[in-house]
Chain A
Amino acid sequence: MDTTVEKTLVTTPRVIGKPASFYIGQTLRYLLYLLIGLVMFTPFILAFLGSFKTDAEITAYPPKFLPAKWLVQNWVTVWKTDIGQGGTFPRWLFNTSFLSVTLAFLRVIFCSLAAYSFARMNFPGKDLAFTFMLSTMMIPDAVKLIPAYVLMTKLKLINTFWSLILPGIVDAGSIFLLTQFFKTIPKDLEEAAFIDGAGHFQIYRTVILPLARPALLTVFILQFQGAWNDFLKPLLYLNTPDKYVLNVALSIFQQQYKAQWNLTLVGAMVNAIPILILFFIFSRYYIQGVAYTGVKG
């Protein structure tokens, strides 16, 4: 993995005995970072503050930066949303979390199995399967998702979580990333295990998986985020209020609450905050994942 990224970023600049121009440059640099950061984060700050404003204040012109009175009631109203047929806010939060964790977990298992066979075994048809996998990555998602709707109706999977889980247990991009990572693990360990008579599954479980923990975590985080943020698939396949995920529910919110943008923004914040916290904790893995697919892909 890209340890080089980490190392160079971690080393702090030496500041002993530098001329004054150095400090000025340094200050300007951090001011620039702050400025970029401010541009990137401003919409979130505005939306967060907006979620506490009153109905009148949220669309008033000229807009005020801070709410006149912090209306925590908005968050309570959204939490108690009930659009009937079991469509409640806690339910949507549960659906989203359940699907994201399940999908990420299953993908780590099934993708690492496939990646092991690509990285460590030699059998006829392997190269063909690998090329096949790479070429499926080129196919635009929408070209298969919409016709898959017909298949889902035939399999009676429409409006069940299976419609997202079953096709989602594998992902070509993750297999590719894990294959590349597994190839970097030295073979000495497993050769010793082989001599002791271990089979491939044993080696996969006891040697490769423990050593590949950072890569597995990277895949888990990326896939969790991908599943949490997915919109088109749940919009197509899940269509009663008790099955909605947050993203789909939010799109309905906006119609439900009409001009009450403060409530829509609460919904947006509840959707964004878990991902931002997760990202804050695991940003290293997330960035490694993105950088890795970029550089090595």
Chain B
Amino acid sequence: MEKRIEQSRSGTIPAIWTFILIVLISLIIALFNAPTVGGPRAMSSAAAYLSEVRHTGLPYIIAVGIGAAILGFFAARAVKQSWSNQMRRNTLLTGYAFLAPYLLVTLTFTVGVLLFALYISFTSYDIFTPPVWIGLQNYARAFRGLVDPIQKDFIQSLYNVLWYTIIVVSVQTSLAILLAVLLNTPMRFQQFFRTIFYAPSVTSSVVITLIFMWLYLKTGYVNFVLAKILGLVGVHWEGISWLGDPRGLIELIVNAFGGSISSDLWYLKGPSIAWMSIMFQNIYTTVPTFMVMFLAALQDISPTLYEAASIDGANGRQQFFKITLPMLRPIILLVVVLGTIGALQVFDQVYLATQGGPLGTSLTPIYLTFTEALGKQGPIRMGYAMALAFTLAVIIFVITLVQRRILERGTELY
């Protein structure tokens, strides 16, 4: 009886330390991530920075403090319970020691930064002056393009990435499946073929974009090859500047029938030629990666399924639609979700090849966030940029959730 009391007492002090440590670390991280003026000048002395924090970041710090206290309470309770047992105590301490680098870095550079960004998205902030709370104005401004066509940047960027996602994800997923099925057989010289097939997806997007910018030139190989092929059937191909052509897909179809779409109705024009050129280039780099995933999944399908099917007289096409596709469903879901997340965040290609042009037909939310946050076009508008980023994050979250619902509902059948 006496011993048990002693044991429980021996756990109390470490528990208190745990609580203090967690609150302290959280507050230090929060302090650095507090919404104040940025830049080395604000950090010239600790006192100067602290007064900045007191001035503009107090609600933020208090909120983090409360969160940390709750977390600290549960941690302290766990420590108290494990402390009396030497084995459990050791595992607890070593476990967190092993996790410490991960947890500290993630809390600072992911959680802290995200909370900061969320707070900043409700303020007007240019890094060098203190943030000023303006409520939902940044979000309202993002969607003002719905009524005011002059400020349509963000709406247009969303329109662009939606086209991009629909086309890129569907084409890359089906191509990857097709290639995987074709290649899912024993192969000689596989080292050689592998290197060649996957070359586009291991090299950097910058390299691929530069090469394609050159291929897409008016005097480039794409026009040359098209002219040659169309020349064979007697059609004359006038070379176009692929990355500089703002004509939209639907617009081209309408034009072909002798109609036209006025520039006020930009949202009816569909993805521009420039934008589709970037889509093509992106598909070229992502297909091999996803093909590898499908190949690995195909290896997991039991060959007896196919044997049974062929005994029952199923032909190759039936086997593909009745066995292969249903068995690949989980991987298709994964590839579609990963592809969507990637497609909605397209940036490198736009930054290098088109800078959002021509006529804003290749603007993307991340590109806008980048230019607004660093003041590449006009003043630095960090608050507005963060509002855009969060809107995009919510859209990504909702779309992937819907995809999961749709594709997972399908699997219940099997």
Contact = CB atoms under 8 A, between A and B. Distances in A.
Contacts of A247: 204, 206
The secondary structure that dominates the B interface is helix
A297 B296 CA distance: 12
Nearest to B179: A36
Given A140-B396, A175-B102, A279-B202, A50 B78 contact: no
Interface string B182-193: 110111101101
Contacts of B42: 154
Interface stretch (B253-261, B285-293, B307-315): B285-293
Interface stretch (B90-98, B135-143, B150-158, B241-249): B90-98
A264 B195 contact: no
Interface in A1-50: 2, 4-5, 8-13, 29-30, 32-33, 36-37, 40-41, 43-44, 46-47, 50
B114 A290 contact: no
B61 interface: no
Contact of A4 (B40, B299, B366): B299
Contacts of A294: 292-293, 296-297, 331, 334-335
A211 interface: no
A280 B191 contact: yes
Interface stretch (A68-76, A83-91, A111-119, A183-191): A111-119
Interface stretch (B6-14, B162-170, B346-354): B346-354
A161 to B, nearest CB: 15
Nearest to A248: B206
Contacts of B288: 40
Contacts of A144: 109-110, 113-114, 117
B409 to A, nearest CB: 21
A99 to B, nearest CB: 13
A51 to B, nearest CB: 10
B211 A150 contact: no
B331 A121 contact: no
A279 B198 contact: yes
A236 B205 CA distance: 16
A60 B393 CA distance: 44
Interface string B221-245: 1011001000000000001000000
A4 B302 CA distance: 11
Contacts of B23: none
For the residues of A in contact with B, the DSSP-based class is: helix
A204 B114 CA distance: 33
A142 B82 contact: no
Nearest to B337: A138
B98 A113 contact: yes
A287 interface: yes
B99 A114 contact: yes
A148 B106 CA distance: 12
B295 interface: yes
A283 B199 CA distance: 10
Interface string A125-146: 1100100010010111111101
Contact of A44 (B108, B211, B214): B211
Contacts of B413: none
Contacts of B105: 166-167, 169-170
Contacts of A44: 199, 203, 211
B392 A124 contact: no
B392 A140 contact: yes
B334 A125 contact: no
A295 interface: yes
Query: Chain B interface residue count: which class?
Result: 35 or more
Contacts of A102: none
A11 B206 contact: no
A176 B294 CA distance: 20
A124 B340 CA distance: 35
A90 B105 CA distance: 32
A96 B331 CA distance: 34
B373 A283 contact: no
Contacts of B352: 251, 254
B42 to A, nearest CB: 7
B186 A9 contact: yes
A268 interface: yes
B191 A283 contact: yes
A63 B206 CA distance: 23
A147 B292 contact: no
A116 B95 CA distance: 9
Nearest to A279: B202
A110 B102 contact: yes
A123 B95 contact: yes
Contact of B393 (A43, A136, A143, A279): A143
A5 to B, nearest CB: 5
B94 A32 contact: no
B75 to A, nearest CB: 7
Contacts of B221: 46, 63
Given A141-B345, A291-B295, A286 B202 contact: yes
B340 to A, nearest CB: 11
A4 B184 CA distance: 12
Contact of A121 (B91, B182, B186): B91
Interface in B1-49: 32-33, 38-40, 42-43, 49
11 contacts: A13-B186, A121-B98, A136-B111, A143-B393, A166-B105, A200-B98, A229-B206, A272-B207, A290-B289, A291-B293, A295-B297
A-B pairs with lowest CB-CB distance, top 9: A294-B293, A291-B296, A229-B204, A124-B78, A147-B117, A61-B219, A117-B98, A167-B109, A37-B196
Interface of A: 2, 4-5, 8-13, 29-30, 32-33, 36-37, 40-41, 43-44, 46-47, 50, 58-63, 110-111, 113-114, 116-117, 121-126, 129, 133, 136, 138-144, 146-151, 153-156, 166-167, 169-170, 172, 175, 199-201, 204, 225, 228-229, 231-232, 235-236, 247, 250-251, 254, 261, 264-265, 267-268, 271-272, 275-276, 279-280, 283, 286-287, 290-295, 297
Given A148-B109, A275-B202, A291-B292, 9 more contacts: A5-B299, A125-B78, A142-B347, A167-B109, A170-B102, A232-B347, A261-B214, A271-B204, A271-B207
